[in-house]
Structure formats: structure tokens, C-alpha cells
Amino acid sequence: MSVETVTPAGPETAARPMDLLRFATAGSVDDGKSTLIGRLLYDTKSLFTDQLAAVEAVSAARGDEYTNLALLTDGLRAEREQGITIDVAYRYFATPRRKFIIADTPGHTQYTRNMVTGASTADLALILVDARKGLVEQSRRHAFLCSLLRVPHLVLCVNKMDLVDWSQEVFERIADEFTAFAAKLDAPDLTVVPISALQGDNIVSRSENMTWYEGPSLLHHLERVHIASDRNLVDVRFPVQYVIRPQSTTVTDYRGYAGQVASGVLKPGDEVMVLPSGFTSRIASVETADGPVAEAFPPMSVTVRLEDEIDISRGDLICRPNNAPVVAQDIEAMVCWMDETRPLQVGGRYAIKHTTRSARAIVRGLHYRLDINSLHRDESAGELRLNEIGRVRLRTTVPLLADEYRRNRTTGGFVIIDEATNRTVGAGMIVDTA
Amino acid sequence: MTAPAAYQVSHLDALEAESVFVMREVVAEMERPVLLFSGGKDSIVMLRLAQKAFAPANIPFPVMHVDTGHNFPEVLEYRDQRVAELGLQLVVASVQEALNRGMVRESGDGMRNRIQTPVLLDAVEKHRFDALFGGARRDEEKARAKERVFSFRDEFGQWDPKNQRPELWSLYNGRHHPGESIRVFPLSNWTELDVWHYIARERLALPSIYYAHEREVIERDGMFYAVNEFFRPRAGEERFKAQVRYRTVGDASCTAAVRSDADTVEKVIEEVAATRITERGATRGDDRVSEAAMEDRKREGYF
């Protein structure tokens, strides 16, 4: 070989056996959210000196009295000029146990849209409150959106404990109030941690200023919170993404269904049903580019081959005969509207993307609009504007293969697209199918 | 219910599964995808993911190299070898040709980074590509931290950061009108260290300049530039030999090396894990222009 390339002899698996946790942060700059993220990045050595130097230089030039860590994530020109955060920013750090992806959602502009986006893929949501102020309207709104999006784990960080004299009483009052509120929301696993992001208390290691607190530090919790059982390993749902049919002389008669396992476990020999046709067959093999595997489970991307030749194409779904999603054209869903130009209106027609399936839909009804601060239902509402949430009835042109969102985030969620502008204008979570 | 430990996947497997999903979505929904292949480590990883996504079939799209004419010879050789191995169609969008035709003009500093953009956009239009896979990662730069996996570009190839489509769950919206296109970043959630762990796991060959070697360099703004036909030392800049490697591979006139003894993938992983400077900060003269250098280039249609 004439070309000089290097193939180093890597160890069998150089990757540490570490898993992945995605979390969303909610709170405004005033709550110390950027300071907290900066602290997590810094203390896990994920913040680089050139990034820090750039932020220090810009802070100094702007006359900020302290290094404004918000500048780390506010990367866009308009954000720095206006001092606001426009969009969800993704940040990365890792410890030997876990890799973390932070979806950092801004507290001010377009709040709901960004929070819903960040929460949609999150295993955990981190909500910040200022210990001096306690729970505010925004904290309740954050908690509600996390529960709507079914984020499995919630962490409330009571920040700025240094400014309330590390008071156990203050902390417990806020923790109790939030726990009571979260119970009403059917919120899942909840942990409350007293912290000082500025001084680093209870971030990486336990605080010496709050010896009364017996729980874990924030990072300790993030590293160890058990997320493996959040995945649904019971209901087999395999949306077909793409049919692999090599046009090749060496591989002939190959037909495989490529996709990512949404839930359940698929094994060779399993009896399966294909929707919407209802045909049944057995799994002949489950394959990856590295060879066949004994079983596939979420979030693996694999190729499934069946024993029988049946007509299957993108948008179809493989499940088990005795455990199938509904095949429905009438959908009841909670919809969060995300478009500033035009509201959702009854009678409106849109495109829908649900799993790997696309359809058109007409809005048949708007039952109510939800006030996300009071949870009051306004049944007289005629439309949903930007950042508003309501319960909507849709009729689709082709059936969706759907589960309730609370059972399955993949087969229960969909996006709404404006057919004229192609913009993503809404997010839907299926509550019922009829 | 409690999942048995066997049903856990490593972070690399999770990242790979997500990237494979993204690539399949593009091929299923778009008309004419193309993968931007520079011979750099990120595009090499992308190409491996494309193999994984469509096996046992061949990669169902061509690759494109925006060739500034300022290449490291090791990288160009690697590119041609890899393309031949995989039987891919290679489209070369040549900056030199565009200069010769008068489509673009050389900038004063001799760097060709910025003039790549019109050459790229011209090739996209000529070949009517509607989806371009790029190896950019969100951990690289703060403007990129806010970019979508499916990033919409208007008919001028421009990115509008204030008008991005919300991206929920794994539902990517690639709809566009004729002339518009989507940049797709399958490695959005990968970090530099993830990329190196994957290179080790997959035993991917890389151009040799990613590993430590001796080279004649000069030092400028704390960075080490190789002396070659594209890079001229200024008066007073002293040439010396040093043990270096490249953390990124781009245009040879603005990509710098770092001092390093890491001559194996394991040593590179150790080095990357311990470093406290970002890869672009350590090696790219083009990003030092201003706080918003990357955002401005991206708005114009850069990768």
C-alpha cells in the first residue's frame, strides 16, 4: 500500500463502559443557572481555558463586575448584543461514569417552545430556584412542562443557599412546597438539593456549610440516578425507517427493515405483526453492520429481517400480535403551539410527522386551552397562539400507529408542520385515540 | 420493572445509534444527499456511520470535497484511497478552479477559508444536492452549540440562527422548497473525545498527520504552523523542528499543529482527555478573527 495511513492497534474496546444521560436545565439567569452550568463544566474539566479566557475578555470589555458565564452559552451575535438567550444550547461534559448532554433552555424569550424542545429528549430535568425568593410562577411552569413531556426524573436545585445563611428551615419550606405541587402533577422521581452554584456547595462534593443535608451532591446524583429502567422494554415498537435492498451481485435477495427500536426487545424467532396491514411473520434475524445480534432493544439502530415476504415500507411498524399500538385517524392530543406568525385554528390543515410516518391532518376541535400557571382550562378558547398549550382533536389522512404519550414517548409524540412554509409549528402528545 | 444490566448501552453505542438513525432519515426523505468528506477525522467517522447505516448495501450517496488547493498531501492521498475502497463517487468542488474562472478572489491574507463558501454553494446548485451531511459538532464552537441536527438553508445557502425549526424527540423536519437545502449534522452530540474513542473502537485508519511526527514549523500567536508551499513565514519568524500532531485538518494555510508525543490512538485519547484548550482554539487561525467569526461564516453558508 503506497498511501501512508496509520491503523493503530486499539484495545478491544477503548470506550469506557459509561452511559449517557440527557438533561434539560430550566431557570433564568437570575437563578444562577449559567453559573451552575459553568460550575459543572469547570469542575468536570469540560470547560476549556480558551473558552474561559474569551468569556473573561468579553465580560471585562462590557464592564460586567464578574465573569458572566452566560456568555459561554450565548454564542450568537444577537444574544450577546441584546444580553438575552435566544435558543436552546447544547453542552457536553463527562465523568468516568457518564457522558452528559445538557439542553440549556433560556428562561425568557420563547420560553415554552424552548423548554418543550429541550425536555422532549431529556432523561432528567433540573429546575433552579433562588432560595431567597422560593418558588415562583416560573418554577411551577417548569415543573408542569416537565410533567407534560414526561421527563422521568426531576431535580429541584435550591440555589444561593449562601445568601440565606445555609438555612435548613428555608430549604425545607421550599422543598415541601415544591413536593406538594409536584404530587399534583403526577411528576415522577423527584430529588431536591440545596446548593450554592457560586461557591460550589453540593455541586461536586457535599457541602461543609450544610451538614444538616444528608442527600447526595448534585453531580453525585446525576452520575448515579437510575435511568436504565426508564426505557420501556415491554411493548415492542419498531417503526420502519428504510428498506435495505442492496443492488449488488454479491448480496442477492436481501431485504431488511432498518430502524431504531422505540421500545421492547426484538429477538430472532419472535412472532411479529406489521401495521397497518396486520400481516404476521417471525423475525428471521436482527442485524447490524457488525453482524447479527441476539436481541435488539432501545435505543439500538438495527435491521430486522422477517421469515416471510410481506409488503413493508417506511412508516410501517413492527410489533407483537398481542401487544400493538392503535391504528387510528382520530387523535386526541395536548398540543404546544410554536409558531409566532399564525395561530392553530380549528379547521386548519397541517402536515404531521409521527415516528417515521407522515400524514396530513385537519384540526377538528380545540377542547380547551390550558393556563400553564394556574392549570385552569379555558374552554372558550378558539385558537392556540405561540407558546400556548391546549387539548386538540385531529383527523389524519392516513392512520397513525400510536400509543398514549405517557406510555411511549416515541409512538406518542408528533410534530405539526405548516405545509406552506415548511416550518415546524407545533408539538403534540397523544392522550387518547378513538 | 427493573431492566437487567444487559439491556444497557454504552454512550458510544447510543451516539452511534442516533447518528445511524439520522443518516437513514435523510436517505429516506431527501432526493439528493451528499456527504462532505475532507479526509478529516470527523468526516472519516461519518463515513463509517454511513457504512453502518446501510450495510450490506453500499453507501447510497456520493461524497464531496471542497478542495481549497491548500492540502496536506497525506490527507489528499487518504481521501482518494478511502473513496476507492468504498467505491464511492467523489465530487471535487475546486477553489483553485473557481479562482481561475474569476468566480472568487484570493483574500489579502492568502487564507482560502472564506472563499470556500461560494464554491461549495455553486457545487450544491450544479448537482442539485438537497441534503449535505457535515461533520460539525456542537462542542466545537458556541455558534454550533445552537445549531439543529437538520439545519435549514435558504436558496442562498444562508443560516438564520434566529429562525430555526424546533427539533423535538427524534422527529427531524427536512421539508424544503426547490433550491433550498438542509445541512445535516449526524455528529452533533459527539465530542472530540467521543470521536477518538470511536476511532479506537472501530480501528479506523486516519491520515498520518493526526499522530505525532517531526515537522518544520514556525510559531505564530501561540500556534505551530507547518512551513510549506501554502504557508509563508513572516520576517523574524524562526523555523525549527518540533514533535507535533494535528488536532484538526483543514486548509493548510490556516490549520496549526499542536506539540505532541501522541503517536498512537491510545496516547491521543489520553492527550485529548487532559487538554484544556478546545481543538479550534488550539489550531484554527480563522476562528481567532472575532468572537462571532464562525457564526458569520455559517450565516453565509459555510459548513
pLDDT for A10 = 36
List Cβ neighbours of A184 (8 Å cut-off, separation of 6 or more): none
CB-based contact B298:A77 (threshold 8 Å): no
- The whole-number pLDDT of residue B2 equals 38
β-partners of residue A345 are A383
Give the integer Cα–Cα distance in Å for A280 and A311. Answer: 11
What pLDDT, on a 0 to 100 scale, did the predictor assign at position A171? Answer: 98
CB contact under 8 A, B21 and A260: yes
What letters, b where the CB count within 10 A reaches 16 and e where it falls short, cover A410-421? bbbbbbbbbeee
For A104, residues 6+ apart whose C-beta sits below 8 A from its C-beta are: A24, A25, A33, A37, A73, A85, A88, A89, A90, A91, A118
Q: Could you please report the per-residue DSSP string of B30-91? A: -SSEEEE--SSHHHHHHHHHHHHHHTTSPPSS-EEEEE-S---HHHHHHHHHHHHHHT--EE
What's chain B's average pLDDT? 89
Bond into B186 cis (ω within 30): no
List CB contacts (< 8 A) between A428 and chain B.
none
Question: Nearest C-alpha of chain A: how many angstroms from B244?
Answer: 16
Contacts of B28 in chain A (CB under 8 A): 241-242, 314, 356
pLDDT in 10s for each residue of chain A, 434 residues:
333 333 333 333 444 468 999 999 987 667 788 888 888 988 887 877 777 787 778 777 777 766 766 677 666 666 666 666 667 889 999 998 999 999 988 766 567 888 999 999 999 999 999 999 999 888 888 899 999 999 999 999 999 999 999 999 999 999 999 999 998 887 779 999 999 998 899 999 999 999 999 999 999 999 999 998 889 999 999 999 999 999 877 877 899 999 999 999 999 999 999 999 999 999 999 999 999 999 999 999 999 999 999 999 999 999 999 999 999 999 999 999 999 999 999 999 999 999 999 999 999 999 999 998 888 999 999 999 999 999 999 999 999 999 999 999 999 999 999 999 999 999 999 997 76
Q: CA angle, A303 as apex, A300 and A304 as ends, to 5°?
A: 110
CA distances from A365 to A95, A212, A239, A333, A384 (A): 48, 53, 28, 11, 11
CA distance A134 to chain B (A): 30
Tell me the ipTM for this assembly. 0.92
Give the distance from residue B95's alpha carbon to the nearest chain A alpha carbon, in angstroms.
24
Alpha helices per DSSP H over A96-136: 111-120
Strands A413-417 and A153-159: unpaired
Q: How far is B102 from chain A (nearest CA, A)?
A: 32
| CA distances for B43 relative to A36, A127, B133, angstroms | 34, 37, 9
Contact B58 A254 (CB under 8 A): no
| Residue B76, pLDDT above cutoff 90 | yes
Does the distance separating the beta carbons of B177 and A99 come in below 8 Å?
no
Maximum Cα interatomic distance, chain B, rounded to a whole number of Å: 70
Task: Give the span between the Cα atoms of A286 and A296, in whole angstroms.
Answer: 7
Cis peptide bond upstream of B56, omega within 30: yes
> pLDDT tens, B264-284?
999 999 999 888 787 877 777
Q: What per-residue confidence (pLDDT) applies to B287?
A: 61
Is residue B156 exposed (0-12), middle (13-18) or buried (19+ Cβ within 10 Å)? exposed
CA B119 → CA B68, B105, B284, distances in Å? 9, 11, 21
Cα diameter, chain A: 75
* Per-residue pLDDT at A62: 75
Q: What pLDDT, on the 0 to 100 scale, is given for residue B281? A: 75
Of A246, A300, A413, the CB nearest to B9: A300
Q: How many CB pairs under 8 A join A and B?
A: 254
What pLDDT does A70 receive?
65
- The per-residue pLDDT for range B86-102, each reduced to its tens digit, is 999 999 999 889 888 88
State the pTM of this model. Answer: 0.93
Question: CA angle B300-A104-A431, nearest 5°?
Answer: 105
**Contact between chains at B171 and A415 (C-beta distance less than 8 A):** yes
Sign of the alpha-carbon dihedral angle for B234, B237, B243, B246: negative
Give the residues across from A383 on adjacent strands: A345
Name the residue with higher pLDDT: B5 or B208: B208
Cis preceding-peptide flag for A325 (omega within 30 of 0): no
Helix then strand then coil, in percent of chain A rounded to 5, is 20, 35, 45
**pLDDT given at position B102:** 86
Distance from chain centroid for Cα A347? 30
Say what the pLDDT of residue B295 is.
75
pLDDT at B3: 41
pLDDT at site B4: 44
Contact B225, B218 (CB under 8 A): yes
pLDDT surpassing 80 at residue B213: yes
Contacts of A234 in chain B (CB under 8 A): 1
Among the partner-chain residues B3, B21, B177, the one whose CB lies closest to the CB of A229 is: B3
Residue with cell 420501556: A232
Contact state of B169 with A72 under an 8 Å Cβ cutoff: no
Q: pLDDT by residue (tens digit) across B214-225? A: 999 999 888 899
Cβ contact (<8 Å) for A241 and B25?
yes
pLDDT of residue A285: 98
Could you give the angle at the alpha carbon of A343 between the alpha carbons of A114 and A379, nearest 5°?
100
Positive or negative: CA dihedral B228, B232, B235, B236: negative
